[in-house]
Structures are given as structure tokens and as C-alpha cells.
């Protein structure tokens, strides 16, 4: 089989890349190891900032709109904030990913689900061999199969460091679920390097905790304690799943010959929020643009994708790393700013809605930017040894 582009992985990033390439007239094959519909460990929250990247409406798979946050500090001292416009929508990855893949297919891509990749060979183009024994030849490959996917291993790229998370679902039949409709819950200050969450869905609430990998042995207990603090029956949580949140260090490669890595495979998760869907979608689109220029002969390689990420995504990731380091060094002042400062809350909402950015927020600090950078560097230096984790291949 010969196509212009092969996309490995049919998550939000892979389907967005396939949609963009197919819409531009390229022949595209999407290889997905699981049979659709399939689920993935994920809270299933999509920020409005991520929705703005999509050229179509995902309302058919939206279960709730989110207008506010209910915040706890160390499992007590709760406060609420509400915004006049939606901040995020709640879905499930089984539904979202199937919907996005359908849009790519409608645009002209071919989806081959239940067909895991076995090997990748690169020369002037790529040859992807699957477990069915098929070979797919293409001019470019978009790697969208996650941090532990076959693409990074096959290409000999170093493993990404990552945070860890554990989540489960509480049925709506639990009385504590009644108060969760259009707010999400955040538990701050009690989990090193991370936070806890409650994400309301139509038929359940998704509860989770995540943080530094050094805290992995305690995640089950942390999740149970947090669930109880919110009034849920911890023993009744269903579908408990652990997963990794891959994080990219500045300067790590995004392209290798005719291959571009996007989304989790590139470690583009926001280190402060742990949100990865927005950057997966946008990196898929940027990779598709660079791939199309390369296929058309307008560019000699895919390095335009790295330039685009450096210009558009990396500046926010750099600030998010600084803010993450500062927050986990001094969580109490952060929480008080969020609680008492309408300007800070407003800035947070504008970032979530895509009306501003982390980089824009830092720019408005003026001369204080230097102090923030120095304090963050000090905090990061102290956190790096325990935050560093190399994802073992699965």
C-alpha cells in the first residue's frame, strides 16, 4: 500500500493531522493498534482553548459544559469560582476519539484500526510494517502513538520523563455526585507535583490524582482519601487506571528525517495543568502543514514543524514549567491568589478559554518576570531529581 502520509495513532493529535492532510488532498492512512471504539485513561476534559483549534463542532460527544471550579486546599478550605462563559467541555475519550477519527475519514483518510505497528523503516520515505504482515509506504509519517508508543522506540529516540496519575469513576448513583454538574473540582497542595480532580460526566464523575513519579506508590491511597473528602465511596470507584503524563524538555527533537512526533509522543502536555488534548490537536495541525509543504516540494524537510512548535507552543510550555515549579514550592500563596484576586482568576479563565496565554500572562508582569524566572529556576533545580522519570516501554 502506498500513500502520501501515514499517521500512527488515532487520538486527537493523529486524527487532527490526518484530517488536515486529507483535506489538503493528500492520501492518508491512519494506523491504530486498538479496535474502535476504544477508551484511553484520561479525564476527558477539553478546554475551550483546545476547541478553538478544531474546524468542526464536537457537540455530538459533549456530555457537560463547565463554567467554574470548586477548589480545595489540602482537602479542606473549599471555595468556588464561576465564569459567565464555558471554560471547558466534558466528554469521554472513547466517544471523542471515535468522533475525531470519523471526521478524518470523512475528509478522505483511511482508518485501519486493530492493526498495531510492528516496525518502521526510514530512508527517503517510510515503510511501516504491521502485525497483519502488511507494509504501508509513505512520504512522511506522523507519530501520534503516545510516549510509550512503538514510534519512539523504533526510531531510537530517548524515552520522555513523565508524571503519573491514577483515576477512577464514581457512578451518578452515589449521593456525592449530585453536586457536580457544571463545575470541576481541584484538590491543591496535598499531592507533590500535581493535584486531584473531579470531572463530572453524564453517568459518572471521573476522580483522579497525579503528581511526581516518586509518589506513585501512594497514589491509590491519595485517590481514596480525596474521594472520601469529597463525599464519594472510595471503595466503589470503578475502572481504576494508572497512566503517564509525558513531558518534553526544551530542545528535545520533534522530527527525524521524514517523521514528525506530535502530542504525547512529543511530550507536549502542559506541565502545570496536565492537559494534553489542546497541544495534541494543534501539533497535529502544525505537523500536517509542514508535511504538506514537504510533499509538495515546497520544503526540503519537516523542520518547519519544529520551527512552528518553537514559535507557537514552546513559549507557553516554558512558562508553564516555571509556574508549575513555583506552585509546588509555594502552593499556599498560589491558592490565595486564586481565591482572593479577581484579576488572577480572570487571567486564569482567559488562558483556559484561549483568549490569552501563559506567555502573555508572564509578559504582563513587567520587571517581575526576572524574579519569577529566578525563583522558578531555583524551585526546578530542587524538584528535578524526584520529578525525573523514564517511561519504560510497554
pLDDT of residue 59: 97
Q: Is the pLDDT of residue 243 over 50?
A: yes
User: 359: burial class by Cβ within 10 Å (0-12, 13-18, 19+)?
Assistant: middle
Most confident of 130-139, 169-178, 210-219: 169-178
Instruction: Read off the pLDDT of each residue in 240-264 and give the average, rounded to a whole number.
Output: 92
- Which residues, at least 6 apart from 384, have a Cβ–Cβ distance to it below 8 Å? none
- CA distance linking residue 47 with residue 32, whole number of Å: 25
Q: Which residues pair with 210 in a beta bridge?
A: 165, 195
388 or 115, higher pLDDT: 115
pTM above the 0.85 mark? yes
Q: Is the pLDDT of residue 386 over 60?
A: no
- List, for residues 8-67, the tens digit of each pLDDT value: 999 999 999 999 999 999 999 999 999 998 888 888 999 999 999 999 999 999 999 999
Distances (CA, A) of 118 to 31, 35, 88, 155: 11, 16, 37, 12
Distances (CA, A) of 257 to 61, 143, 159, 165, 290: 37, 12, 18, 33, 13
Over pLDDT 70: what percentage of the chain? Answer: 92
381 or 130, higher pLDDT: 130
- Which residues, at least 6 apart from 122, have a Cβ–Cβ distance to it below 8 Å? 141, 155, 256, 257, 258, 259
Q: Is the pLDDT of residue 383 over 60?
A: no
Contact 66, 86 (CB under 8 A): yes
Of residues 148, 103, 128, 130, the one with CA closest to residue 259 = 128
In which band, very low, low, confident or very high, does the pLDDT at 123 lie, cut at 50, 70 and 90? confident
Q: Is the pLDDT of residue 72 over 70?
A: yes
Instruction: Read off the pLDDT of each residue in 196-210 and give the average, rounded to a whole number.
Output: 96
Q: How many helices (H) and strands (E) does the chain have?
A: 12, 18
pLDDT of residue 385: 42
pLDDT of residue 53: 96
In which band, very low, low, confident or very high, does the pLDDT at 373 lie, cut at 50, 70 and 90? low
Q: Which parts of the chain fold into alpha helices (H)?
A: 12-23, 48-51, 93-107, 150-154, 219-229, 277-295, 303-312, 314-329, 331-340, 342-352, 358-363, 368-387
Domains and their CATH numbers in the chain: 2-57+91-159+248-314 (3.50.50.60), 64-89+161-246 (3.30.9.10), 322-387 (no CATH)
Contact 202, 91 (CB under 8 A): no
Amino acid at each position: 500500500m502506498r500513500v502520501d502520509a501515514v499517521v500512527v495513532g488515532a487520538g486527537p493529535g493523529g486524527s487532527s493531522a490526518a484530517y488536515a492532510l486529507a483535506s489538503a488532498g493528500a492520501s492518508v492512512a491512519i494506523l491504530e493498534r486498538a479496535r474502535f471504539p476504544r477508551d484511553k485513561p484520561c479525564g476527558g476534559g477539553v478546554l475551550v482553548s483546545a476547541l478553538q483549534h478544531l474546524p468542526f463542532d464536537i457537540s455530538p460527544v459533549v456530555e457537560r459544559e463547565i463554567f467554574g471550579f470548586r477548589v480545595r486546599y489540602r482537602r479542606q478550605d473549599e471555595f468556588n469560582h464561576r465564569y459567565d462563559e464555558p471554560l471547558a467541555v466534558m466528554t469521554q475519550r472513547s466517544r471523542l476519539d471515535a468522533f475525531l477519527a470519523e471526521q478524518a475519514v470523512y475528509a478522505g483518510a483511511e482508518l485501519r484500526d486493530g492493526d498495531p505497528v510492528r516496525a518502521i523503516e526510514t530512508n527517503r520515505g517510510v515503510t511501516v510494517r504491521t502485525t497483519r504482515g502488511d507494509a504501508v509506504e509513505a512520504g512522511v509519517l506522523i507519530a501520534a502513538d503516545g510516549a510509550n508508543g512503538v514510534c519512539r522506540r523504533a526510531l531510537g529516540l530517548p524515552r520522555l520523563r513523565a508524571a503519573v496519575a491514577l483515576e477512577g469513576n464514581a457512578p451518578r448513583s452515589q449521593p456525592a455526585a449530585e453536586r457536580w454538574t457544571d463545575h470541576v473540582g481541584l484538590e491543591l497542595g496535598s499531592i507533590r507535583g500535581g493535584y486531584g480532580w473531579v470531572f463530572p460526566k453524564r453517568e459518572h464523575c471521573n476522580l483522579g490524582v497525579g503528581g511526581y513519579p516518586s509518589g506513585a506508590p501512594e497514589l491509590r491511597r491519595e485517590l481514596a482519601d480525596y474521594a472520601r473528602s469529597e463525599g464519594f465511596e472510595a471503595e466503589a470507584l470503578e475502572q481504576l487506571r494508572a497512566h503517564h503524563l509525558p513531558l518534553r524538555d526544551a530542545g528535545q527533537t520533534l522530527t527525524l528525517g521524514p517523521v514528525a512526533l506530535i502530542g504525547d509522543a512529543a511530550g507536549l502536555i502542559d506541565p502545570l495543568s496536565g492537559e494534553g488534548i489542546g497541544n495534541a490537536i494543534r501539533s497535529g495541525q502544525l505537523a500536517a502543514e509542514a508535511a504538506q509543504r514537504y510533499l509538495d516540494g515546497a520544503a526540503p524537510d519537516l523542520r518547519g514543524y519544529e520551527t512552528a512548535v518553537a514559535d507557537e507552543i514552546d513559549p507557553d510550555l516554558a512558562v508553564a514549567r516555571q509556574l508549575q515549579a513555583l506552585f509546588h514550592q509555594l502552593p499556599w500563596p498560589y491558592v490565595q491568589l486564586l481565591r482572593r484576586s479577581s484579576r488572577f482568576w480572570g487571567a486564569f479563565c482567559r488562558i483556559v478559554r484561549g483568549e490569552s496565554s501563559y506567555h502573555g500572562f508572564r509578559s504582563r508582569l513587567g520587571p517581575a518576570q526576572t524574579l519569577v524566572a529566578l525563583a522558578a529556576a531555583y524551585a526546578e533545580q530542587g524538584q528535578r531529581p524526584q520529578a525525573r522519570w523514564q517511561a519504560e516501554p510497554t
